[in-house]
Chain A
């Protein structure tokens, strides 16, 4: 059973069409939930860390929220340059020290 599940696998949006990406997790002892952006041919780029349920963080058109079982990455009025794969990862006490367990990602395409 996957410990981190992201949905949808792929998402196509028109420019300006807001939407949300989901990351659900089954681990216990969450120490942190991380969102990354990955462009083709590049390494993951850090976006946010969330540590406790109810926490929210924003950066430009992106807003990340966290509950006890899942996180959402809300994208408001996306632009074509927001096209990328968005990865969710968790660090939890059952894993090794500060080890990230990743989901399989959501590939976002924003059409002009």
Chain B
């Protein structure tokens, strides 16, 4: 059983297109996240959702929008894709209890904008 799964694993698309990446977790966690890993392998948080509420929104372009239909899913929608959006996007989830805050990550989606 995959704890945090995201699809697709690879996504190649042209500039200007709109695309979505899906994420699902079966861990019963309270919070889900989207992270971006750039070409230098630096992981940086983009968004997190707790009980369907956006609780963190880093300074990412508003072309990026997270959507959570329920506690187990957090999808990432990207409008008007740009070359600089090329990166690996990771979904993660955590329980958010006092002594149990570690995040578990999906396998990543490698987005290439051409």
Q: Residues of A at under 8 Å CB distance from B?
A: 31-32, 34, 36, 41-46, 49, 51, 85, 87, 89, 91, 96-102, 104-105
Contact = CB atoms under 8 A, between A and B. Distances in A.
B86 to A, nearest CB: 16
B31 to A, nearest CB: 6
Contacts of B107: 41-43
A32 B40 CA distance: 25
Top 5 A-B pairs, shortest CB-CB distance = A43-B105, A96-B56, A102-B43, A44-B105, A46-B102
B29 to A, nearest CB: 10
- Interface of chain B: mostly helix, strand, loop or mixed: strand
A91 B107 CA distance: 22
Given A43-B107, A96-B55, A96-B56, A102 B102 contact: no
Contact of B96 (A45, A49, A87, A98): A98
A42 B109 CA distance: 9
A44 B108 CA distance: 9
Contacts of A43: 4, 90, 92, 105-108
